[in-house]
């Protein structure tokens, strides 16, 4: 067992250039069917979404992921790339029901200036929006348990969120990819793997039938499932950490959660604080503001739902924003991370900002 910390050293994000204002989309749908106005007005007010990115005809889950991966690899030396032992992909909009998306990515990278070694494990993880996070936790554990010096892992998350048109769910569409570089002695975040909190349950809150290009979602039920899973996984995390929920919340400097749409994680965190603290509603909002939580939701409101990448998009923005606020005090700050996958599963864990994070 490696005694060194393990976690995230680098993170790249890619979003397709094509952008559509949610207000423009809503206006078009209302023009086509005026009966939709009250429903779409409510959807815009409750989701907090302002725009979405969408792929061109020549873009798909693989090409989006390849863009994020190429950006990540461009920042690595040849020696670092040769130390890569795992290449994984988290997605719920795969292009192949058998072959892993990571295999396609490896092939595409061979056509660039950043070819990957053949001596690595390549596979895909699927559990709705949690696939990428589950891959990151699993590979971090593998590196810590039996990794050699210089070993590393890459997790690519890539998804295209599409819903039936016309519908209120359209306002939460989006597309994009992230690429994570994981290793021991990480430069960005050190994961606490000993206290990862988990919760899973068989529910039909969100699913995409085989052969369908659009997902089916039961909005209100999915929101309730998200809240339940978050509360239960957080409680499991606290038990494994040996601390009370009150103690743990008091120790957290920043929060990043799965963001299907900008307002969804807000209710979950507010509920958590209401249950485990004596804060009033105004005090909770003020505390979350001071932690930079609402700032972490900004990219999701502009880009849309990245499914497996939504947590990591939020984290990338938060680290950038918090580095400006905290400056030299960035190192040692404690994040609470939460990843939700419909169907469902939730993982909650903490991570400490590494000493070299400011330089990344």
DSSP one-letter string for 24-67: HHHHHHHHH-GGGHHHHHHHHHHH---EEE---TT--HHHHHHH
| pLDDT of amino acid 213 | 81
pLDDT in tens, 7-66: 999 999 999 999 999 999 999 999 999 999 999 999 999 999 999 999 999 999 999 999
What Cα–Cα distance (Å) separates residue 266 from each residue in 138, 145, 263, 294, 342? 27, 35, 5, 8, 18
CB 93 within 8 A of CB 307: yes
Domains of the chain: 6-186 (3.40.47.10), 191-359 (3.40.47.10)
**Mean pLDDT computed over every residue of the chain:** 95
| pLDDT of amino acid 184 | 96
Q: What is the DSSP letter of 304?
A: B
Q: Round to whole Å and give the CA distance between 298 and 277.
A: 26
| pLDDT of amino acid 216 | 80
Q: Where are the beta strands (DSSP E) in the chain?
A: 6-14, 19-21, 51-53, 84-90, 121-125, 152-161, 174-184, 189-191, 197-200, 206-207, 216-217, 254-257, 334-341, 345-353
| pLDDT of amino acid 219 | 77
pLDDT(96) > 80: yes
pLDDT in tens, 160-214: 999 988 988 999 999 999 999 999 999 999 999 999 999 999 998 888 888 888 8
CB 309 within 8 A of CB 91: no
Is residue 126 helix, strand or coil?
A: coil
- Mean pLDDT in residue range 67-74: 98
For residue 114, the tally of other CB atoms under 10 A from its CB is: 17
State both tokens at 314. 């939020």
Neighbouring residues of 260: CB distance < 8 A, sequence distance ≥ 6: 129, 172, 305, 310
State both tokens at 177. 């990819």
Cis, peptide link before residue 69, omega less than 30° from 0: no
| pLDDT of amino acid 206 | 85
pLDDT in tens, 286-317: 999 999 999 999 999 999 999 999 999 999 99
Q: What is the DSSP letter of 8?
A: E
| pLDDT of amino acid 138 | 97
List the one residue out of 337, 330, 336, 326 whose CA is nearest residue 353: 330
State both tokens at 68. 């994020």
Q: Round to whole Å and give the CA distance between 340 and 132.
A: 10
For the chain, give the percent of residues with pLDDT over 70. Answer: 100
pLDDT(249) > 90: yes
| pLDDT of amino acid 108 | 97
| pLDDT of amino acid 92 | 94
List the one residue out of 326, 194, 336, 195 whose CA is nearest residue 252: 336
| Beta-bridge partner residues of 11 | 180
């Amino acid at each position: 067992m490696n005694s060194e910390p393990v976690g995230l050293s680098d993170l790249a994000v890619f979003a397709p250039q094509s952008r559509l204002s949610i207000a423009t989309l809503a206006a078009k749908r209302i023009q086509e069917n005026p009966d939709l106005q009250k429903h779409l007005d409510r959807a815009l007010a409750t989701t907090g979404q302002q725009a979405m990115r969408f792929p061109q005809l020549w873009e798909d889950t693989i090409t989006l992921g390849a863009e994020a991966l190429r950006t990540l690899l461009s920042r690595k030396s040849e020696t670092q790339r040769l130390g890569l032992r795992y290449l994984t992909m988290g997605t719920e909009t795969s292009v192949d029901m058998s072959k892993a998306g990571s295999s396609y990515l490896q092939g595409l990278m061979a056509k660039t200036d950043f070819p990957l070694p053949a001596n690595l494990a390549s596979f895909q993880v699927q559990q709705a929006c949690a696939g990428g996070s589950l891959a990151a936790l699993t590979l971090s554990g593998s590196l810590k348990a039996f990794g050699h010096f210089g070993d590393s892992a890459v997790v690519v998350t890539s998804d295209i969120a599409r819903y039936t048109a016309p519908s209120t769910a359209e306002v939460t569409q989006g597309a994009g990819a992230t690429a994570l570089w994981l290793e021991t002695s990480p430069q960005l975040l050190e994961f606490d793997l000993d206290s990862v909190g988990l919760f899973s349950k068989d529910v039909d809150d969100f699913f995409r039938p085989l052969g369908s290009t659009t997902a089916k979602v039961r909005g209100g039920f999915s929101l309730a499932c998200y809240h339940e899973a978050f509360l239960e996984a957080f409680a499991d995390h606290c038990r494994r950490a040996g601390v009370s929920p009150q103690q743990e919340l008091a120790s957290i400097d920043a929060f990043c959660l799965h963001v299907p749409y900008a307002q969804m994680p807000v209710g979950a965190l507010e509920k958590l604080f209401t249950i485990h603290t004596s804060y009033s509603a105004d005090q909770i909002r003020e505390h979350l503001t001071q932690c930079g939580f609402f700032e972490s939701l900004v990219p999701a409101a502009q880009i849309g739902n990245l499914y497996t990448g939504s947590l990591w998009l939020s984290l990338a923005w938060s680290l950038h924003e918090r580095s400006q606020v905290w400056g030299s005090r960035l190192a040692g700050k404690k994040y609470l991370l939460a990843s939700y996958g419909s169907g469902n599963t939730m993982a909650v864990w903490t991570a400490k900002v590494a000493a070299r994070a400011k330089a990344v």
